[in-house]
Amino acid sequence: MRYLKPHYYDRFVCSADKCPDTCCAGWQIVIDEESLEKYAAVNGAFGSRLKNSIDWEEGVFCQYDRRCSFLNEQNLCDLIQELGPDSLCDTCRMYPRHVEEYDGLRELSLSLSCPTAAEMILGCQEKVIFEESFTDEEDDFEDFDFLMFSQLEDARDVIFHILQNRSTDLRIRMASVCALADKFQDCIDHQTSFEIDTILARYEEANAGNLLPNLIKNSDHTFVQILCGDDDLLPSVSARQKISSYHWHLESIALLEHLERLRPEWNIILANTRSLLYAKGEDAYLKICHDFQTACGYDSPLREQWECIGEQLMMFFVYTYFCGSVYDDMVSTKMGLALFSTLWIQEFCMYRWLDQGHSLSFSDITEIAWRFAREVEHSDNNLDMLETWMEENF
Ligand code: SF4
């Protein structure tokens, strides 16, 4: 078995009672069979508490006021305190560690939804490296498309090179990987997978020569236009009939408002973003964007830091989602999820900056990121709705 993990993966340590939130509230914690059996065999007073605090039919911990019934007032786990860390079920033991499974490969990552992990992911100044290791374990996957998977891995390597090319504006990098994924999708749809290597070589070469704008300047893809159409980055995109960033955000916040939600705080963020950013019309919105970019975004002295955080977000989402398209052929949609998530985390940061009287700290950015991940990424229903929306709209 081959394992892959980001270089910071092993440094994760849970902040426990110092955590600004907790992972034991707001969502259902599913208990594996083995742990259920272990809990059923515990005797005495704590055994009775276990019997009464688990929904045995659903196999989940009961919640009180949306908190796990074993989470005490100090935000520590009574199960660990009574029975030790080995008593945790798989979900609690693993979180925020996440595994994507492919034939012969396990890709490990930390979930952005954990505040401590989000701080590590977004605070990483250096380019993320994925470390490889091997074990003797074997897999018995059926019907795994090895050819497509190896092309996806090759494409993802090129995408990583582009995203980490810090001599190019991040918006151009994001637009380029969007265009690359789109070309990959065309090859699948038209059964011309034999062309993928040539396409990847073209993007690799353009990236090495800092010529990526040449590959995207005529693109009418929504994300390319949103990323590069509102300024002088790509004049030929601007000259075309542009998709307005304002209207795209209005349309997509309506989608976010329709998704399943975990926490009341998220309702407030959505409602305030709508009223502060969009209620006064497009010109007012563009002025806010301009002021924000000049204060702490692409046109500011903090540009390097802003781009570094955007790069780490894109690297995180591409690493997590992109190769999963081996199971559903939806390459373009997986890239769409990465772009959508990064753009919306940046948009919520702009809302936070405005709401706080033109101030935005690193901890504001990480908070927006982990809240977004909790609300959007951790619900299969939400991810399905997003993928369907993207399929229908792009
Ligand atoms: S969210 Fe992360 S840091 Fe907070 S308690 Fe859970 S694992 Fe620990």
Name the residue among 214, 213, 279, 204 with its Cα closest to residue 249.
279
Ligand 1 pocket, CB under 6 A: 14-16, 19, 21-23, 95-96, 114-116
Report the run of H or E that residue 184 belongs to, with start and end.
helix 170-189
Minimum mean pLDDT among 133-142, 245-254, 331-340: which range?
A: 133-142
pLDDT of residue 22: 87
Q: How many CB atoms lie within 10 A of CB 225?
A: 23
| Nearest CA owner, ligand 1 atom 2 | 114
DSSP state of 217: T
Ligand 1: nearest atom to the Cα of 15: 3
Report the run of H or E that residue 307 belongs to, with start and end.
helix 303-321
Report the run of H or E that residue 98 belongs to, with start and end.
strand 97-102
Residue 306 C-beta-side C-alpha neighbours within 13 Å: 21
**pLDDT tens digits, one per residue of 336-376:** 999 999 999 999 999 999 999 999 999 999 999 999 999 99
**pLDDT tens digits, one per residue of 177-233:** 999 999 999 999 999 999 999 999 999 999 999 999 999 988 888 899 889 876 567
Token pair for 143: 């019907």
The number of angstroms, rounded, from the C-alpha of 287 to the middle of its chain's C-alpha atoms is: 28
HEC secondary structure over 237-297: HHHCCCCCHHHHHHHHHHHHHHCCCCCHHHHHHHHHHHHHHHCCCHHHHHHHHHHHHHHHC
pTM given for the model: 0.93
Rounded to the nearest angstrom, the distance between the alpha carbon of 261 and the centre of ligand 1 is: 20
pLDDT of residue 235: 66
pLDDT of residue 240: 52
According to DSSP, the residues that pair with 106 across neighbouring strands are 3, 101
| Nearest CA owner, ligand 1 atom 8 | 14
Rounded to the nearest angstrom, the distance between the alpha carbon of 22 and the centre of ligand 1 is: 5
| Nearest CA owner, ligand 1 atom 6 | 23
Helices (H) and strands (E) counted in the chain, each on its own, are 18, 8
Distance CA 335, CA 338 (A): 5
Token pair for 313: 């977000």
- To test ligand 1's pocket by mutation, which of 13, 23, 72 has the most ligand atoms within 8 angstroms of CB? 23
- Quick one: pLDDT band at residue 237, thresholds 50, 70, 90? low
Distance CA 192, CA 181 (A): 14
According to DSSP, the residues that pair with 97 across neighbouring strands are 110
User: Which residue would you say has higher pLDDT here, 393 or 316?
Assistant: 316
Residue 143 C-beta-side C-alpha neighbours within 13 Å: 2
**pLDDT value at 241 more than 90:** no
Distance CA 306, CA 361 (A): 11
Rounded to the nearest angstrom, the distance between the alpha carbon of 343 and the centre of ligand 1 is: 25
Distance CA 346, CA 370 (A): 13
DSSP state of 331: H
Angle at 5 between CA 3 and CA 10, to 5 degrees: 115
pLDDT of residue 27: 80
Token pair for 124: 């990483």
Ligand 1: nearest atom to the Cα of 116: 3
Report the range out of 185-189, 376-380, 390-394 with the highest average pLDDT: 185-189
According to DSSP, the residues that pair with 60 across neighbouring strands are 30, 55
Q: Report the residue count for the chain.
A: 394
**pLDDT value at 172 more than 60:** yes
**pLDDT value at 174 more than 70:** yes
Contact by Cβ (8 Å): 176, 194: no
Distance CA 323, CA 344 (A): 22
- To test ligand 1's pocket by mutation, which of 17, 95, 97, 370 has the most ligand atoms within 8 angstroms of CB? 95
- Quick one: pLDDT band at residue 262, thresholds 50, 70, 90? confident
The number of angstroms, rounded, from the C-alpha of 278 to the middle of its chain's C-alpha atoms is: 24
Minimum mean pLDDT among 154-158, 219-223, 255-259: which range?
A: 219-223
Region class of 312: left (phi > 0), else alpha (psi between -120 and 50), else beta? alpha
